[in-house]
Structure 1
Amino acid sequence: MLDVQDTKGRETLPPRADASVLLVTAVRLRRGPRGLQLDDQTCAGLVRYAENFRQVTFAGIVLDAEREEDTSVAWVDVVDLPCSGRVEFMELPFAYRITAFARTYRRTRALLGQAIRDSDHLCFTLGYLSGDWGAVAALEADAQGRKFAVWFDRVEHDVILRTLPDHRFRRRMKERMTLPVMKRYHRYLIGRSSLGLFQGRDTYNAYAGFSSNPVCMYDVHTQRADRIDGERLEAKVERLLSGAPLRIVYVGRAAAMKGPQDWIDALAAAAGAGVPLEARWLGDGPLVEAMRGLIREKGLSGHIRLAGHVADREAVLDAMRDSDLFVFCHKTPESPRCLIEALVCGCPIVGYTSPYAEDLVAEQGGGVLTPLHDAGALGRRIADLATSRRDLAQLVRDAAASGARFDEETLYRRRADLLVEFA
C-alpha cells in the first residue's frame, strides 16, 4: 500500500516537464460572458497541475443556465488563470438521465477516445452510473490498452443509500435498483486501473481491496501561508485559559448529510450543561430556514449565528483561526476538506467519528471524536472540554501540529509524481 503521507524509503519520480495529463471529472463548467467558468477551488487545483505538467486537458460537465444547481459557487473565468495557455477544456454533456446518456454516448466516447490518445497520463474521477463520463473514459482507455488512474472523492453508493429518505419515492426506487450495478461497475473499473487514488481513509477503506495499486490521498487547497502563526495560536490559548466563552464554528452546506439538526442539538446539550458558547455556521443550503426555526425553538438565538455563504476564503479561514472548536456532525462516508482546513487553522475538530477524521489526527492529535448520530454524546464532550481548559489548550496546539502536514503544493506534487510513475 502506498500512502501519500508516508514516503520514507521511496524514491519519488519528478513529473516530466514535457508530459501531458488528461483529467475527466464530473465538475461543473458554465458559460459566462467571457467564456467558460469554473469554481475557484478546481481552478486552484488546475494551477497546481500546470506546475507539474506541460499540458493539462480538463473535461467537465457543462451546465445550461436552467440546470445550474442551487448552491453558492465562486465562479472564475478560466481565461484569467495564470496557466490558461496550457490548459485545454473539454465540454461534456449533462447526461444523468438514461435517455440523454444513450443519446450522447457514442459522440462523447469518441471525443474522450481522441483525448486519451493525445495525452501521456490519464486520471478519471468516478462517481455514478449513467452520465459518468469518467467511467466511460476508463472503459475507453482500457480498450486502448492504456494505463490510467481512477479517483474517488467519496463512497458514492453509501452516500446515496444514506440520503435516500430525503428523495421522492420514484427516485428511491430507481436508486435501489441501480446501486448494486453501480457498485460492481466501479469495482470493475478500479480493478482495470493501474492506480487507485482514494480521497481520505473512508474512501480508501471502501475501495482499496479492489485496486492493485491503492493510495490514500488528500485533496486540499490550503497553502503554507494559511497556517495559523505561533503568536495567534498562543493568543488563542491564553484566551481559552482565561475561561472565556467557547468559540465554535462550522463551515459547509446546510444539507442533511452535514447533520445540521444534530449540530444544533449537540450545542443545545452543551449549553444546557452550563457551557458558555458562541457558535457560527458559515454556509447556505436547503435546511437554513429549518435551522433558524430549531435555534429559536431551543432558545439558542443568543448563542448561534447562521452567517450564510461567505465568499471570501480568507474570511472563512480567519473564522476558523479565531475559533476554539470546529464542531461537525457529518453523516455520510465522505472526506470533507473543511476538517483539514480547521486543523491548518489550529482549530480542533470535534464531531462524529469516521476513518477519515480519525486518520487526520492519528499522528499528532487535535481532535475529539464521538459516536455517529449521538448528538447528546457530542454535547457532553464539548462540555468536558469547556471544563478542562488546559486539556483544550493542548488540543488546540495539537490541531495546529496536525494541520502542518497539509499544503496544496506538496500534495499536488505528490499526486503528479504518482500519475507519472503509474498512469
Structure 2
Amino acid sequence: MDSKILLVRPVLFRKIEERLAFDDQTCESLTRWADNFDRVVMACPLMPEYLVDESESSIKLQAIADLPCADRVELVPLPYAYKIPDFIKTYKTTSQLLSAKIQECQYLCFALSGLIGDWAAIACLEAMKLQRPYAVSADRVEYEVIARTLFTKASRKNIPIKRLIKNFVTLPFIKPYQRYLIRRSKVGLFQGQDCYSAYSAFCDNAYCAYNTHTKKSDQIDISRLDLKIKSVLDNEPLRLCYAGRASDMKGPLDWVRVIHHLCQGGVNLKATWMGDGPLLSDMKSLADKLGIADKIHFAGFVSDRSQILETMRNNHIFLFCHITPESPRCLVESLVSGCPIIGYSSHYSEGLVSEFGGGAFVPIYNWQELANLIVYLNSDREKLSKLIFNAALSGQQFDQVSLFKNRSDLIKHYLDINY
C-alpha cells in the first residue's frame, strides 16, 4: 500500500490567480515530505482575501501546482479562525473534515501552534477519538512567546488591544492544553533545544528534529572559508549581519544599540540588516539618533535566498537579539555559511553549536554585554577565526534531505500500523 501522510500545520495557504500557494520555504518542505511519502495531504488555514493587502507583501509565493510533486499532493484549505467567534462557528465542520482525512491516511503529523484557530490541535483530538496514533511537532514554545510579548512593554505597544486581551485570556490554557495533546502523541518532533526542553518530558518518544531548508550545495566551500578567515586575521573591518523581520521578537532595537556600542568602543565595522517589518522605521530612526546611520546598511526585504546566503558567507559575525523561545532558521543558514552566531542565549542557539562550536552567547536582553563580547572578539582575531571555522563545521550537520528523511523515518517507525 502507498504511504500517505496527513500534515496539519499553521502555515497559511495564499492564492495566486485562484491557485493555492505557499511561501517558497514551505514549498521546499512540502517537496521534501513528498520525497519520503508516496502521497501527502496538506491541511492549512487559507488566508482570507480581506487580509491579503495587510499581509507581508515581501513574502515570496509559489503556486503549489507548479511543484514537481504536485500530482502526489492533496491540498485541504481550512478556515482562518483565529477569532473566537470564527473558531466556534467553523469548529464542527472542520473537525469532521479532519476526522475524514485522518481515516484516509496511514501517517499523521500535527504541528501545534496555540489555542484558538489551531486546527492541528483539533486534529489531535479527532485522532484520539479514532484511536489513531499521531506525531506532534513544534518549532517554538508558544505560551512563552505570548507571555514575553504580553509582559514586555516594548512588545505590547505594537500589538492591537483586542489581540492583547485575547492573549491574556487564553494564555493560562495553552500550556496544559498542549501538554495534554503531547502526552497522548506517539512521537514528538521538537525543533531545537528550546522546544525539546519545554515539551520532551511530556512525550515518551521525543526527538530534537530540525526542519531546515539548506542543502549540501549551500555549505561554504573551503576556499571561501579560507578567504574569510584571512580577512579576519588581516584586520579588515569587522562585518556583521542579520537576516529576518524587524519585529519585537527579533530584538531589532537592541541590535542597533549593540552596533552603536561597538562604534563607541572604536570597532571599525560594517553592519547589514536584511529584512523588513513593523520596526524597520524605528530601527532607522534610532540609528539616525545615535549617529550611526552610515554604519548600517538596511537592505530591506531580500527575496533571493542565494543572495542572503552569499551575504552571510561574506560576513564575520551573525549578530542576533532574539527574545523568544523559537527556532529561527536564519541561525542554521548562518552556520552553513561559516558565519558564527553571536547573540542572546537560548537552548536552541546553544544546541546548534553544542558539538562543534561556532557560537558565543550572553543572557537575554543584555545588549551591553553582547556588545562587549564582540569588542573582545574583534580584539582577539585568532579566536574569532576559530569561531568562523567551527561555525562551518556545525553547519555541515544541516542538510535538508537528510534531516527530512530522519523526521519521516521516525514517523514511520512509531506510527507504522496495519492500516
Instruction: Name the TM-score, length of structure 2 as normaliser.
Output: 0.95
Match of 1:143 among 129, 153, 162: 129
| Unpaired runs of at least 5, structure 1 | 1-16
Q: Which residue is equivalent to 1:42?
A: 26
Match of 2:8 among 18, 24, 42: 24
Contact 1:34 1:77 in 2 (8 A): no
Please state how far the C-alpha of 1:170 moved relative to its aligned partner.
4.3
Instruction: Name the TM-score, length of structure 1 as normaliser.
Output: 0.94
**Distance in 1 of aligned mates of 2:204 and 2:396:** 30
**Distance in 2 of aligned mates of 1:250 and 1:282:** 6
Q: Which residue is equivalent to 1:198?
A: 190
Q: Which residue is equivalent to 1:288?
A: 280
Contact 1:343 1:402 in 2 (8 A): yes
Please state how far the C-alpha of 1:126 moved relative to its aligned partner.
0.9
Match of 1:255 among 242, 247, 272: 247
Please state how far the C-alpha of 1:385 moved relative to its aligned partner.
0.8
Contact 1:29 1:63 in 2 (8 A): yes
Q: Which residue is equivalent to 1:155?
A: 141
| Unpaired runs of at least 5, structure 2 | 151-155
Q: How does 1:102-113 map to 2 (within 5 A)?
A: 102-113=88-99
Q: Which residue is equivalent to 1:54?
A: 38
Secondary structure of the residue aligned to 2:137 is: strand
Please state how far the C-alpha of 1:169 moved relative to its aligned partner.
4.3
Q: Which residue is equivalent to 2:349?
A: 357
Q: Which residue is equivalent to 2:55?
A: 70
Within the alignment, does 1:405 sit opposite 2:397 as a pair?
yes
Q: How does 1:160-309 map to 2 (within 5 A)?
A: 160-164=146-150, 165-166=156-157, 167-309=159-301
Amino acid in the other structure paired with 1:75: L
Contact 1:148 1:195 in 2 (8 A): yes
Within the alignment, does 1:101 sit opposite 2:57 as a pair?
no
**Distance in 2 of aligned mates of 1:194 and 1:376:** 44
**Distance in 1 of aligned mates of 2:203 and 2:260:** 44
Amino acid in the other structure paired with 1:176: F
**Structure 1 segments of 4 or more deviating over 2 A?**
165-174
Match of 1:313 among 298, 305, 308: 305
Amino acid in the other structure paired with 1:45: S
Secondary structure of the residue aligned to 1:58 is: strand
Q: How does 1:114-153 map to 2 (within 5 A)?
A: 114-153=100-139
Amino acid in the other structure paired with 1:365: G
Please state how far the C-alpha of 1:168 moved relative to its aligned partner.
4.2
**Distance in 2 of aligned mates of 1:295 and 1:45:** 37
Question: What are the Cα deviations for residues 299-347 of structure 1, in whole angstroms up to 9, with x where unaligned?
Answer: 1112111100000010000000000000000000111010011000000
**Distance in 2 of aligned mates of 1:170 and 1:80:** 38
Within the alignment, does 1:86 sit opposite 2:72 as a pair?
yes
Amino acid in the other structure paired with 1:185: Y
Secondary structure of the residue aligned to 1:147 is: coil
Please state how far the C-alpha of 1:174 moved relative to its aligned partner.
2.8
Over aligned residues, Cα RMSD in angstroms? 1.1
**Distance in 2 of aligned mates of 1:170 and 1:227:** 44
| Percent of matched pairs sharing the same residue | 45
